[in-house]
A and B are shown apart, each in its own frame.
Chain A
Amino acid sequence: MSLKLAIKKTLTHFHFTFCSAQIMPPVNEMMMFKLCEVFSESIPMAVIQLKNVLEVGGDVDWIVVGAFLVSIMFVAEAVSYMTYMKDISEESRSTGKIFYGFMPLSGHRMHVVKISLLCMSFSCCTAKSLEIVVLLQVGGPFLAAQVLGADLGIYLIYKFARNDFRYWIPLPRGTSLIASFALRVMVKIVTDFTGFLHARHPFEMGGFYWFINMIMTQVGVFGALMVKQEFGWREGEGEVVVLPEEERVLKDEDYLKLAVLNFALWLISMAGLYIASEKKFNHTFYSLVTGKQFCRKLFETDQAMTIMEIFNCHRR
């Protein structure tokens, strides 16, 4: 009996090291569903609405401004709630003890972490949207696509170089690489726009790249503003009608004030997050561990619940 168990354990160890696969618990299903909404609706809407709000003339429709704020708040709330639920869920804390647990479960620190998460997502969404809008104003969709594409390309090269590209979800044969590509792109874009804290998981971006990505998001706004200062607005074409500066509610110099305020909010929220979260999980904010290394570490914790999870849920 013990020999059978040892063989099973060895085989599972091999499987766990070389192929990552899991069932979809309710928390993950909820997260994927919200991610879809944030990725394909809330983020594009936030960018389009911010562009229109920044370029609006004298008569402002406040419902449209409200709709923009609703979009950003929806993004911030959805992402911080996903991170919170995933971190405190029974399943995560019983089978993923080496990663989940940064969120204090009671007291002032819990509230500080929750508010910091909200502010961080709000700040990231505003920063990235502002960066894209400024790039659209300077060079149109082509320039914005180039910058986003280059950023995405660097991330995918990083994943390939670390042999960490293939996604952890079990998928039908022949679809794994395409689905991995789509899911990696999706998580990257969502993290760019929301600072999605769960993306620091080794199965997603990993702590180190998540942290660099956060800095790049904030730096990107000031970079775009510098480019705008250098090259100015592009000429209007087709439906693009640029109002003269004096007719716009928000002037060009207000962009910098907005970016600085937003950066201050981001710094405060990051400090709050780092100070108030559980100290023994601070390394997850900058860890270099890959998905496969994480799987191995998880298995080596030798906890009954984790091993049962592997026996029950990992099929390949």
Chain B
Amino acid sequence: MFRSSFIKNAQHEFFKPLLLAVGKELNTTATWHKLALSVGVSLASMIDVASDVYTISYYHRIGKHATANLMTAFVLLCIFLQMMLVVAIHHKNRRRMVLELLGTITFTKPAFNKFRVLTNASIDGHEVSE
């Protein structure tokens, strides 16, 4: 193993930079697979919320209104906190902030987040909570 890599490095100097370039390309390229994974995350988030909504309606149906109201409050609190977080991070770029807020209330933001992570998206510079 060591011998073969030594020979490769010694005889073919281009080999390591080539692999590094290929690796970087793989890490940053936007592919259909990455898009599908991102959409999957968003769908999982939506299923989670949908199951919560069903449970809330179930407790209303059987008369456990306090439990149902408590659950509703937690769902709303979640959306509120996520919106606050978006404002805190993106307040220096108003257009981006509005887009991210829209993504939050439509439960599509997890997909954008995951896609940016999977494609190693670069930082604009406005994403500071300062």
Q: What's the minimum C-beta distance from A36 to chain B, rounded to whole angstroms?
A: 5
A27–B117 alpha-carbon span in the complex (Å): 6
Chain B residues, CB < 8 A from A89: 117, 120
Q: Is the CB of B74 within 8 A of A45?
A: yes
Is B128 touching A45 in the complex (CB atoms < 8 A)? no
- A41's partner among B75, B110, B129 (CB-CB below 8 A) is B75
Question: A258 at interface (Cβ–Cβ under 8 A)?
Answer: no
Q: Which chain B positions have C-beta within 8 A of A36?
A: 78, 81-82, 85
Q: How far, in angstroms, from A70 to B71 measured CA to CA in the complex? A: 15
A27: B residues at CB distance < 8 A:
117
List residues of chain A with CB within 8 A of the CB of B65.
239
- The answer, yes or no, to whether B66 is at the interface (CB within 8 Å) is yes
What CA separation (Å) do A7 and B17 show in the bound complex?
A: 34
Which residues does chain A contribute within 8 Å of B59, judged by CB atoms?
52
- Interface size of B by Cβ–Cβ distance < 8 Å? 39
A295-316 residues at the B interface, CB under 8 angstroms: 315
User: How many angstroms from the CA of A40 to the CA of B48 in the assembled complex?
Assistant: 13
**Cα A85 to Cα B114 with chains together (Å):** 10
Neighbour of A24 across the interface among B70, B109, B128, CB < 8 A: B128
A48 touches B58 (CB 8 A): no
Query: Is B89 a contact partner of A24 (Cβ separation < 8 A)?
Result: yes
Residue A30 at the B interface, CB < 8 A? yes
Q: Which of A26, A64, A70, A71 contacts B121 (CB 8 A)?
A: A26
Q: Does B51 contact A (CB under 8 A)?
A: yes
- Interface on B for A, CB 8 Å cutoff? 27, 44-45, 47-48, 51-52, 54-55, 58-59, 64-67, 70-71, 74-75, 77-78, 81-82, 85, 89, 109-110, 113-114, 116-117, 120-121, 123, 125, 127-130
5 closest A-B pairs (Cβ-Cβ)?
A41-B78, A67-B51, A30-B113, A26-B116, A40-B78
* Residue contacts A-B, CB under 8 angstroms, 17 given: A21-B130, A26-B117, A30-B117, A33-B85, A41-B77, A45-B74, A48-B70, A49-B55, A61-B58, A64-B55, A67-B51, A67-B54, A70-B47, A90-B27, A170-B130, A239-B65, A239-B66
